[in-house]
Structure 1
Amino acid sequence: MEIADPVTGQMHYKTCIIEWTESDNVHCSPLTDLSSALGTIAVESLVVQNEYIFVQKNTQRSAEMYVSYRRQPFKKAYFPQGLESVEFELYDTDEHQVFVAVRHWTDVLNLYLSDITGQYFVLSLENVVTMDFGTFSFSDLIEIKSTPGVFLSNVRTTYGIVTMVTYDKGGNWSRLAAADPKCRLPDCSLNLHMMYSSFKYSIPQGIFSKKNAPGIIIGLGNEDGYLNMQSKSNSYISRDGGHTWTKLLSGNYQFNILDQGGALMAVQPGVYTRHIQYSTDVGGTWKPVTLNVSLMIDGLLNEPGITTLVSSAYGHHQTGDYGWVVIQFNLTGAFSGKCTDKNYEHWSPGGEHACTLGERAVYQRRKQNADCYNGQDYERPINSSVCTCTVEDFECDYGYENQAGQCVVAAWYDQSPVEDCPVGTKYSKSSGYRKVAADKCKGGVEDDKKYKPTMTDCPVLPPGDMRLESSATTGATTTGTNVTFYFRQGKGSKTTTHYNCTFGDGHQQSMQWNDTTPGVMKFTHQFLKVGTYHVTVQATNEKGQASVALPLTVEDRIVDLEVELPRGALQNEPSVFTAIPVFGLDNGNTQDLKQTHFIWQFSHQETPTLSWNGTVSFKCSEPGNYTVHVTAVNAVSSYHKALTVRVYGELVVVQLWFENLPLEVPPSLLINRIIFRRSFEKAVVKEISEKKILGTEVGEIQAAMLLKEPLRVDVVILPPTVNKNKITATQVAQKLIDAVAAHNLSIPLGSIDTVTPTKAVIVKEITHQWLHSYGKVWGSTVLFEDKFPTPFNFSFKVYFSSPVPMRKFA
């Protein structure tokens, strides 16, 4: 099954047996894991067909297909080099062979055929017509159900689109012979409309074939040098599996095959008509059925299938009644009776003695002009025999190309074993030929040495095609976490190769190949410092060396947010909010804020605000309480907090200057700055409150330190909720200015020292809004809402005289 990681959303392949427990719960018992060397896979890429399981893995530039043959471990599928693969479309996996279309670019798609394992592919057909709509795509490739091994495809050429046919499931392709003897290859051929014509030019897509109607193929197209989208199309039929064609009807028609090929029905789509035509001699002649109303026929259906002579046409009235109209036809009366043995003939695809994929099949089918029907109980006898192998039953192997009928080594292929080949063992070296996987032939040239591989000693090969992945599938991990790395080597020797891994943090690890999990070497490492690292594996042996690198971001997990905001803000004036993330690991790291972003949502705004430095500006035109939501996010975590800010219509800021206090806190000690600032702010608020310098006509005071020379503290004075004496905040502020001028305000600094402000002034603009240390004055009681530690002992130079418990801050 394909399952998603609940954290990263990435997809993985897992196998298990579904069992029902006594409580009707589903239990999944794990089976042998085929995916341990696979890693993450592309979404919705899992396909199970016959003996094959397919998944797709995406890289930055291209895609790779992996296949499990007969439920064995997944292996990478190999395609001829030169074009990067973007997407894979499976068309057929019958007869122990995979037929796949590979999209290389937007309008470039090639067809490939595999060996029996589905791992090694060779080119079958180039430049297949395709269209990509983003959410879905299609290609002009159609399997003919009436004749095994036959496919039709449209390809792009220099002059236009032409139709190609293969009679051996993609082994060889050729153009279709035209019905008109004047239209001769190679300048003229029959070309048929498929999906591209339908989507691009609204021309009906008309390739009709049925499994139980052997040899019959019906198509719409034209006879020309290429497929003409502008000229009128006609209908054509082949009764011998696509080898020869006959013109059926002039114009576009939709067809229905009945009675296992004994009868045909035809109707023109997209026009109102009173006529439906039928044929009892496989399209040799046609007879009309006249309807009593004019209908636009939307489709034809068999009831209940191809063995019946009953068909239904459904469509719409021309007179404005837009409901469905269904008309049923029974063609039994068009025949004189049921067929007997004398009414049948034997037919073989390609001719009486022809072999297709190493087998000669002989079908019994009704003679074209026999005036009888097969009936629903007719069982068609099919006789088959195995053919002797000829050159036609072989194709060029992976890494080889056909040149003048001979398979020669391709320029990109070095003939070395693709998979691991331990030195001291042997591998099967291709002669350049391989038997077509779906071919059933026996003997003949199969026994010729020219077509057989040879056992060859495994050479020492330079390492290559290396990939490095990790358990940190998002490319980021948390400090202190064990990261598992998965190293894969697609080419070159392994047992004779030395591997050295450097982690980018000063550590390295030397290894020899050890694949306890087939195809992958695993190792672990723990990163203790925040940063971006490049983990590199270098592989070296006597024939060469190669390396692969994987970038990895290491970050601390956010465990809390210290949000600095004004508990009181002035309406129509901007206020600054700052969020400082607290990280979880106490390892002395300095987390780079550039790796963290912040999402702010204010209750009066519909659109959230994104910031990268933790600071945003807020302005509100009406007084009141507002909720502020902030979420800090980095590559490994996120943390959310919601707070409330009060917007006032009036407040005054008095700035206290401490010119005699040197500011010598080392700026690199961010935690020291925060603790000192908050402690000093609390001391200012407490001293003002306890000495009742402002009297009782004040609702709230706040303090915010500016870490500048000289040190300054903004004291924000908010009006009381109930103001019986109608005193203004400016009048209250003047009391503080007078107290400073009279030297009646001294701020304790530690247990011994005090410091006195040298001046106090009212500032018109709020230049600093880290107003987080505050108290409410109720009589002589100050209620501090800040949770930070109480002030520490400071020397006069504002250094800590005792150790400070470190907490991680950005």
Structure 2
Amino acid sequence: VFEEEHHILYLDHGGVIVAIKDTSIPLKILKFSIDEGQTWSTHNFTSTSVFVDGLLSEPGDETLVMTVFGHISYRSDWELVKVDFRPSFPRECTDEDYESWDLTNLQGDRCIMGQQRSFRKRKISSWCIKGKSFTSALTSKVCECVNTDFLCDYGFERSAPLKSESSKCFADFWFNPEAPPEDCVLGQAYTSSTGYRKVVSNVCEGGVDLQQNLAHHMCPLIAPKGLQISIREESLAVRPGEDITFIVRQEQGDVLSTKYQVDLGDGFKAIYVNLTMTGEPIRHRYENPGIYRVSVKAENVAGHDEAVVFVQVNSPLQALNLEVVPVIGRNQEVNLTAIILPKNPNLTVFYWWIGNNLQPLLTLESFLVTKFAETGDVRVTVQVSCGSSMLQDSKVVHVFDHFHVLPLKFTKHLDMYNPDIPEWREDIGRVVTRLLAKETSIPEETLMTVVKPGLPTVADLHVLLPANQPKKKRSITSDKRIAAIKQALNAHNISFFLRGGYWVLVTLADSGSDSQRIGGGSGYWAIVVLFVICLVSVGAFILYKFKRQ
């Protein structure tokens, strides 16, 4: 009716329709219609334009009084304008002012949802008030059923209609109309669908009945199908000694004549009857860590079904330590090892982050072998996940091109007090490094002692090369430092006091061997030797040519 949006209000049971434009500009004119919107009249409801926010009517559908609410300006208070249409109507409506009206659909059918209904409405030519006593309904008559009162039943679809006949409902390829329902119990009867069902809330009677001639069948013995095992807390990882509740469900099949064989994986086995009907859970407790295979087998004369779930029982993680050599050569293999307590074999997942890489490496083993292609400090982080517990540890690895390694040994008294834990090894390494730096006047930051796990107690002394010196001068300085360290160790000047009254002496593991040099320092000399060989070859070739001439 209108091209723009309007506020609409119905008065006197729809006898008057009021419309005001929904706009951001102030208005003082409204439109109204008394002939169901066929024609519209205008009315000045105020002498001052108002920004209209909405329309209100008095309680009751019979009223002809309405209120326009809005404001004169954006800063003003609310303005309420009451409009009374009662003076516009000279009288109350009588029976001669109404005519009957039949409800039809778009196709013109008078029977809708199985009944034919007639209403009365005011004649367009009548100018009167309907009032409180007005009722619109006249008569209601139940219709006979026709084909359009039925829809295709579940599992059926309507085929494309032919020219000579209307469309029919046929079963889908996946649906078997004669299959018994899921709740069918042996000894009871069920009916199979003809493919049609009456529309919900349709009240038609007699006439066409597309649901007639239903086939009746006896419920057969159905094999169990859709057997499922679930855990009430929905956690497949529990701690030793913790209660766990299994729930068994069955989607299809007979229940009364079915036996359920339950195996909880730790030696507990039992046979139940009516397990899924009673809904009684199975409570159990695993005492030892491990992975347990829980199975339930449902079986009757018609067939069987089985469901399996794996339960992980493990103790929560208590401690994690990442062991890695703190100093390593570039492109040299290094072993990253995670020590966890307690040990849960085959139950723990290790996540490894190397450097700033956000994508971790996953392993089921507690170690990872890798290489570092660039020099500098690289942070290595390991995260251990076992069941619902999770721990994380991180260490920094110093990657160098060149450094020296001196193997060290200790007097046997230290082995008696070696608990073989990472913290103790780190403490011993710091003590040895501090003593060597003090004895030889070598900067402590260029020395690092790493005590190895196990017995007997041995260690490696890493001698780092100064970074801010020329290569040739660094080599000379390194040789002097190695000599000073060997002299201090061979002179038995490095020792520390151990509880129990023992002095622990630190010496070279093999006093006659040289230090091991790690890194790519020999590459320079290899290039020089290769250049000399090429030069000699070219000279020999020229001399050979000269002699032939």
Measured against the shorter chain, the TM-score band is: 0.5 to 0.7
Query: Which AA in structure 2 matches 1:263?
Result: V
More displaced, 690-699 or 304-313? 690-699
Greater RCO structure (CA 8 Å; 6+ sep): 2
The number of residues matched between the two structures is: 458
The answer for the alignment partner of 2:128 in structure 1 is: 372
Question: Cα gap change, 1:695/1:552 in structure 2, threshold over 3 Å: closer, same or farther?
Answer: same
Equivalent-residue separation in structure 2 for 1:634 and 1:311 (angstroms): 70
Alignment map for 1:590-739 (pairs within 5 Å)? 590-591=345-346, 593=348, 595-597=349-351, 633-639=385-391, 655-657=405-407, 676=420, 678=422, 681=425, 703-706=449-452, 713-715=459-461, 737-739=486-488
1:624-645 CA distances to partner (integer Å, 9 max, x unpaired)?
Answer: xxxx99975555123578x9x9
Equivalent-residue separation in structure 1 for 2:407 and 2:300 (angstroms): 71
The answer for the alignment partner of 2:528 in structure 1 is: none
The answer for the alignment partner of 2:490 in structure 1 is: 741
TM-superposed CA distance for 1:283, in Å, is: 0.5
- The answer to whether residue 155 in structure 2 is matched with residue 419 in structure 1 is no
Equivalent-residue separation in structure 2 for 1:484 and 1:306 (angstroms): 60
Equivalent-residue separation in structure 2 for 1:273 and 1:475 (angstroms): 68
- Other structure's SS at 1:493 match: coil
Alignment map for 1:483-522 (pairs within 5 Å)? 483-497=244-258, 499=260, 512-517=273-278, 522=281
Equivalent-residue separation in structure 2 for 1:609 and 1:402 (angstroms): 53
**Does the 8 A contact of 1:464 with 1:489 survive in 2?**
yes
Query: Which AA in structure 2 matches 1:713?
Result: A
**Does the 8 A contact of 2:323 with 2:422 survive in 1?**
no
Question: Cα gap change, 1:336/1:304 in structure 2, threshold over 3 Å: closer, same or farther?
Answer: closer
Query: Which AA in structure 1 matches 2:459?
Result: V
Question: Cα gap change, 1:396/1:563 in structure 2, threshold over 3 Å: closer, same or farther?
Answer: same
Equivalent-residue separation in structure 1 for 2:314 and 2:361 (angstroms): 19
Alignment map for 1:131-530 (pairs within 5 Å)? 249=1, 251-254=3-6, 256-259=8-11, 260-266=13-19, 276-289=30-43, 300-303=54-57, 307=61, 308-309=63-64, 310-312=66-68, 328=81, 330=83, 332-333=85-86, 335-337=88-90, 339-342=92-95, 343-345=97-99, 347=101, 349-350=103-104, 354=110, 356-358=112-114, 363=119, 365-374=121-130, 380=135, 382=137, 387=142, 390-391=145-146, 394-402=150-158, 404=166, 408-414=170-176, 415-440=178-203, 444=206, 450-451=211-212, 456-473=217-234, 476-478=237-239, 481-497=242-258, 499=260, 512-517=273-278, 522-523=281-282, 529-530=289-290
Equivalent-residue separation in structure 2 for 1:269 and 1:412 (angstroms): 54
The answer for the alignment partner of 1:40 in structure 2 is: none
TM-superposed CA distance for 1:597, in Å, is: 4.2
**Does the 8 A contact of 2:429 with 2:450 survive in 1?**
no
Question: Cα gap change, 1:558/1:364 in structure 2, threshold over 3 Å: closer, same or farther?
Answer: farther
TM-superposed CA distance for 1:322, in Å, is: 9.6
Equivalent-residue separation in structure 2 for 1:690 and 1:542 (angstroms): 81
Equivalent-residue separation in structure 1 for 2:216 and 2:35 (angstroms): 57
Find 1:558's aligned residue among 306, 309, 317: 317
Query: Which AA in structure 2 matches 1:412?
Result: W
Question: Cα gap change, 1:437/1:280 in structure 2, threshold over 3 Å: closer, same or farther?
Answer: same
More displaced, 328-337 or 307-316? 307-316
Equivalent-residue separation in structure 2 for 1:334 and 1:599 (angstroms): 86
Q: CA RMSD in A?
A: 6.4
Equivalent-residue separation in structure 2 for 1:347 and 1:466 (angstroms): 59
Query: Which AA in structure 2 matches 1:459?
Result: P
TM score, norm. by length of structure 1: 0.42
Query: Which AA in structure 2 matches 1:312?
Result: V
Q: Which has the higher helix share?
A: 2
Ranges in structure 2 where 5+ consecutive residues have no aligned partner:
160-165, 328-333, 412-417, 465-477, 520-549
Question: Cα gap change, 1:455/1:326 in structure 2, threshold over 3 Å: closer, same or farther?
Answer: farther
1:723-769 CA distances to partner (integer Å, 9 max, x unpaired)?
Answer: xxxxxx99999775334334677999xx9x9996225859889xxxx
TM-superposed CA distance for 1:336, in Å, is: 0.7
**Does the 8 A contact of 1:358 with 1:388 survive in 2?**
yes
Question: Cα gap change, 1:475/1:303 in structure 2, threshold over 3 Å: closer, same or farther?
Answer: farther
Equivalent-residue separation in structure 2 for 1:481 and 1:705 (angstroms): 41
**Does the 8 A contact of 1:256 with 1:265 survive in 2?**
yes
- Other structure's SS at 2:256 match: coil
Equivalent-residue separation in structure 2 for 1:473 and 1:304 (angstroms): 57
**Does the 8 A contact of 1:504 with 1:535 survive in 2?**
yes
Question: Cα gap change, 1:502/1:736 in structure 2, threshold over 3 Å: closer, same or farther?
Answer: farther
The answer for the alignment partner of 1:111 in structure 2 is: none
**Does the 8 A contact of 1:681 with 1:703 survive in 2?**
no
1:507-553 CA distances to partner (integer Å, 9 max, x unpaired)?
Answer: 87765541354xx574456665556x876655555555555565766
**Does the 8 A contact of 2:237 with 2:314 survive in 1?**
yes
The answer for the alignment partner of 2:543 in structure 1 is: none
Q: Percent identity?
A: 20
1:311-357 CA distances to partner (integer Å, 9 max, x unpaired)?
Answer: 5376998xxx6999977462515731564343445555339995544
Equivalent-residue separation in structure 2 for 1:629 and 1:295 (angstroms): 70
- Other structure's SS at 1:515 match: helix
Question: Cα gap change, 1:278/1:425 in structure 2, threshold over 3 Å: closer, same or farther?
Answer: same
**Does the 8 A contact of 1:428 with 1:454 survive in 2?**
yes
1:88-126 CA distances to partner (integer Å, 9 max, x unpaired)?
Answer: xxxxxxxxxxxxxxxxxxxxxxxxxxxxxxxxxxxxxxx
Query: Which AA in structure 1 matches 2:317?
Result: I
Query: Which AA in structure 2 matches 1:251?
Result: E
